[in-house]
Amino acid sequence: MTLDLVVLVSGSGTNLQAILDAVAEKRLDARVRLVLSNKPGVKALARAEASGVATRVLSHKDFPTREAYDTELVKILREALGGSAHGFVVLAGFMRILTTTFLDAFPNRVINIHPSLLPSFPGVNAQQQAVAHGVRVSGCTVHLVDAGTDTGRILAQAAVPVLPGDDEHTLGARILEQEHRLLPGVLQSIAEAGGKVP
Ligand code: GRF
């Protein structure tokens, strides 16, 4: 079956692009209903527009509290998903902590990609943390989002070596290549499972 997706972004949107490419190339049975950014002018929005996908900016600066922001976010995303039974929210570089106001509205329907092998290196600067700790292997994790920071159920992981001389940028680029493969792959496996999260 076909998944209905909303993708939340804050930046460059290469993971969004991987999803859009997979949909266009029929490797992913999904429709991207909306791309929403909390920041105006980011490249992810231009990527969505170039693919003819609806976009929206909802700036956190316009809201007094996280709850107020998330209440409006839920309203917009529910409208975009139109009550689809196969609707999922994908966090693709969305740099906001979501409250239970948001998570309770989409139980087990929010999926994140994180640039480390969780539970190692949750939170920001995961690539920098990996380099600083001198680990020899890192990677990326696709997981369900719960109320913790990068603590939800793990759906898939991919590993990459950390090479001598790596910094956060060279390691980050190696991890991103795997992210672009892993995230559309997990979404397609959900589509193939009839919208059930494996
Ligand atoms: C990725 O490394 C992702 O794992 C993390 O934020 C980054 C987003 O990159 N959550 P992009 O915007 O998809 O290029």
Residue 85 has pLDDT above 90, yes or no: no
What share of the chain in percent tops pLDDT 90?
Answer: 96
Q: Are 18 and 180 in contact (CB under 8 A)?
A: yes
Distance of alpha carbon 55 from alpha carbon 37, whole angstroms? 8
Q: Which residues line ligand 1 (CB under 6 A)?
A: 11-15, 44, 92-93, 113-115, 140, 176, 179
pTM, two decimals, is: 0.97
**Residue closest by Cα to atom 6 of ligand 1:** 93
Chain centroid to CA 153: 14
Instruction: Give the phi and the psi of residue 78 in degrees, each rounded to 5.
Output: -60, -45
Mean pLDDT of 95-115: 95
- Tell me the pLDDT band of 84, cut-offs 50, 70 and 90: confident
Most informative mutation of 118, 179, 186 for ligand 1 (most atoms within 8 A of CB): 179
Q: Tens digits of per-residue pLDDT, 133-184? A: 999 999 999 999 999 999 999 999 999 999 999 999 999 999 999 999 999 9
Distance of alpha carbon 23 from alpha carbon 17, whole angstroms? 10
**Residue closest by Cα to atom 10 of ligand 1:** 93
Residue corresponding to tokens 């999260």: 197
User: C-alpha dihedral over 94, 160, 27, 35, to 10 degrees?
Assistant: 10
